[in-house]
Amino acid sequence: MRLLKVATCNLNQWAMDFDCNVKHIKESIEEAKRAGAVIRLGPELEITGYGCEDHFLELDTVNHAWECLKDILLGHWTDGILCSFGMPVIKDSERYNCQVLCYNRKIIMIRPKMWLANDGNYRELRWFTAWKLKDKLVDFQLPRDISEALSQTSVPFGYGYIQFLDTAVAAEVCEELFTPIPPHAELALNGVEVFMNASGSHHQLRKLDVRLRAFIGATHTRGGVYMYSNHQGCDGGRLYYDGCSCVVVNGDLVAQGSQFSLKDVEVVVAHVDLDAVASLRGSISSFQEQASYKTKVPSVAASYSLCQSFNLKISLSSPLEINYHCAEEEIAFGPGCWLWDYLRRSGASGFLLPLSGGADSSSVAAIVGCMCQLVVKEIANGDEQVKADAVRIGHYAEGELPTDSREFARRIFYTVFMGSENSSEATRTRAKVLADEVGSWHLDVSIDGIVSALLSLFQTLTGKRPRYKVDGGSNIENLGLQNIQARIRMVLAFMLASLLPWVHSKPGFYLVLGSSNVDEGLRGYLTKYDCSSADINPIGSISKQDLRAFLRWAATHLRYSSLADIEAAPPTAELEPIRSNYSQLDEVDMGMTYEELSVYGRLRKIYRCGPVSMFKNLCYRWGAKLSPSEVAEKVKHFFKYYSINRHKMTVLTPSYHAESYSPEDNRFDLRQFLYNSRWPYQFGKIDELVKELNGDSVGVRRESSGMGVVAAGSGNPNVGL
């Protein structure tokens, strides 16, 4: 038997905070060595942090990474343990995303990434060059100060593996695993038994299974030990890296780290038998045949042994059942951990949330409550960093600690119900009850006086006073009156966030939390610069359907029972007067259901459908209940309002990324924001298809809408709420 103990880790790194990152790296190595591991794998670009973005273009970033690596190698950290460190490296004139493999205070080789992530949230080709030379390793001249410090002039650079005396080890970096012909296939045929995948993979609802199945598939038919390391936490942007570092052997998961955690460092250790890898490969005839005429991959010889022989005192890691969170748990824990990282690193003293008593703001309140529960739990488990952060943010006296989540929430979480004459007593009561369950410092304020003052000013200026539609006003008046209320709430929220800490003799400021969901963003069913305009938004990329399921779950599992009533209530903005024969409802205002919006969103983004392709797809999906003409009207209605309101996405509050059909304009969904909302060519094609399907020479009526371009602060009927 060849017994090998390996360690991989989740690290909560912070882009451009080199002291923080090196501290976590050293802690992970120490923990791996204490466990007896001889291989330690860290996440992609762990020294700089993955999310540095255009900072990668600065020479300082690369130079600081080398300085940090030198600091690690001059110490005892790599004595007796193979460590893979992620950092940017400049060779000649090109910048590469690299894994630097080190052992016994020396660099053994540098492995540049060959296939870069360049879709969705990823822009690696903007900062890095893909390594293209596969048939040989080249010499890399180390920077002078590194060379002098390590007594090394040059090291092998390129695609290859390390041949130890008793096994072969290779790196495969993140995206490379998911390519049509991944490197591990060729490396396995060359005798590599241990694969190290350093990754920077973000959380997305229901995505984890795709990732884990890739690790399992990589070794199921080829054999091997597959190590995976990932970042975990918010490193300074919209993404939450969701950890789940793991070890897979011959298709079986034998070690798995947490997906969501407040810990800065989590090390996952596995004890494996490499003879099991050799045995599996020897039993597969096709593997043997392909290995006999393989393409030779270059290697670096390392005259060290990593394995131990048979020893009954050593227990091997056994296959585990994969641990998955349900979507409701993902919504609770992912945004909750992201909020904690943002709070403790921003210098803020807490959060302020406009709490309307509706589903969206109540979801945000529940997520903050979940965050507080996680903090108290980690303190009870002995996490010193969480304790130090919580004591600092909560302004506890010396010797005091957070022991109750509601008490902690009252110190760091303000909620405010900003009611008007259009608000119902039901929503006011729901907001107050939920605030009490979570523990927030709750305020109830009326904005009617401010609204009246503004309308009086408008009347003085123009001689006219707008009326609601139910009172005989026009659509323009109706929308304007709703927008006034919404924007007043934004201004009031930011004023309270900046001044309430002062009122209560606390230092700092509060972060304003937004609460618009992904479907409202897609449709544009929000007022530009209203309460959706905040500092950050933990639910901005989560669908209404998922949020309602989360509320049902949280009512029981987070023990906020009032959420059940909130979920059951019909969604309403409460911006129009309530009458005996009229009550404002979101889905009526939008002209579509939230369920339909999710369908439109997925077809538009995930399946890359324009109006015509969406019409064709929905004819199949909805054909049993809707005629082609009805499907056409729905598709046109969606694209009309989507395009009219696309400009709102340019100022969307930075939101936690959780959904693959997010319309977020700054990083993920890059499109124009000035459209011809009549879509004359595309809608004409839909009309032609409807005529063919119906056999009707008349066709269907095109919507007459004009250009539909909306300037900031104005809009068409039912747009901009």
Q: Where in the chain is the domain with CATH 3.60.110.10?
A: 3-323
Overall average pLDDT of the 32-38 stretch: 97
Catalytic residue among 299, 349, 356, 361: 356
pLDDT digits (tens, 9 = 90+) for 316-374: 999 999 999 999 999 999 999 999 999 999 999 999 999 999 999 999 999 999 999 99
Which residue, among 581, 584, 562, has the nearest Cα to 571 in the 3D structure?
A: 584
CB atoms within 10 A of CB 444: 14
Q: Which of 5, 33, 113, 648 is catalytic?
A: 113
Q: Over the stretch 199-214, which tens digit does the pLDDT of each residue have?
A: 999 999 999 999 999 9
Instruction: Decide if pLDDT at 712 tops 50.
Output: no
In 3D space, the residue among 528, 531, 448, 526 whose CA is nearest the CA of residue 489 turns out to be 531
In the chain, % of residues over pLDDT 90:
82
Q: What six digits make up the tokens of 376?
A: 């108290």
Q: Where do runs of H (alpha helix) occur along 242-358?
A: 274-283, 285-292, 327-346
Instruction: Give residue-wise pLDDT tens across range 531-545.
Output: 778 999 999 999 999
Catalytic residue among 9, 20, 28, 44, which? 44
Q: Which residues fall within 8 angstroms of residue 387, CB to CB, at 6 or more apart?
A: 378, 379, 401
pLDDT of residue 660: 82
pLDDT in tens, 124-136: 999 999 999 999 9
Q: What is the pLDDT of residues 298-308, one digit of tens each?
A: 999 999 999 98
Asked if 113 is an active-site residue, the reply is yes
580 is catalytic: no
Q: Where are the beta strands (DSSP E) in 477-519?
A: 510-512
Q: Which two tokens stand for residue 268?
A: 């996952």
pLDDT the model gives residue 292: 93
Return the bridge partners of 169, or none.
162, 194
CATH architecture of the domain 328-444+497-574 equals: 3-Layer(aba) Sandwich (3.40)
User: Token match 């990823």: residue?
Assistant: 122
Q: State yes or no: is 261 an active-site residue.
A: no
Catalytic residue among 174, 244, 337, 370: 174
Whole-number Å distance between alpha carbons of 403 and 407: 8
Q: Report yes or no: 490 and 528 within 8 Å, Cβ to Cβ.
A: no
| DSSP-assigned letter for residue 89 | E
Is position 246 annotated as part of the catalytic site?
no
E strand or H helix at 679: none
Map 214-248 to HEC letters.
Answer: HHHHHHHCCCCEEEEEEEEECCCCCCCEECCCEEE
pLDDT at 719 over 60: no
Report the distance separating Cα 353 and Cα 161, nearest Å.
52
Three-class secondary structure of residue 2 per DSSP: coil
Residue 710 pLDDT level (bands cut at 50, 70, 90): very low
pLDDT tens digits, 393-444: 999 999 999 999 999 999 999 999 999 998 889 999 999 999 999 999 999 9
Model pTM? 0.91
pLDDT band for 263, please (50, 70, 90 cuts): very high
Predicted local distance difference test score (pLDDT) of residue 721: 40
Give the chain's mean pLDDT: 92
How many beta carbons lie within 10 A of that of residue 292, not counting itself?
Answer: 8
Check pLDDT > 80 for residue 290.
yes
Q: What class has domain 3-323?
A: alpha beta
Which string of DSSP letters, residue by residue, matches 522-584?
Answer: HHT-S-TTSTT-SSBBTTTTS-HHHHHHHHHHHHHHS--TTHHHHHHSPP----S--BTTB--
**Per-residue pLDDT tens over the stretch 622-643:** 999 999 999 999 999 999 999 9
341, 233 in Cβ contact below 8 A? yes
Helix (H/G/I), strand (E/B), else coil: 35: coil
pLDDT value of position 227 = 98
**pLDDT band, very low/low/confident/very high, at 572 (cuts 50, 70, 90):** confident
The CA distance from 355 to 339, in Å, is 17
Contact 517, 505 (CB under 8 A): no
pLDDT tens digits for 159-217? Answer: 999 999 999 999 999 999 999 999 999 999 999 999 999 999 999 999 999 999 999 99
- Which pLDDT tens digit goes with each residue over 76-120? 999 999 999 999 999 999 999 999 999 999 999 999 999 999 998
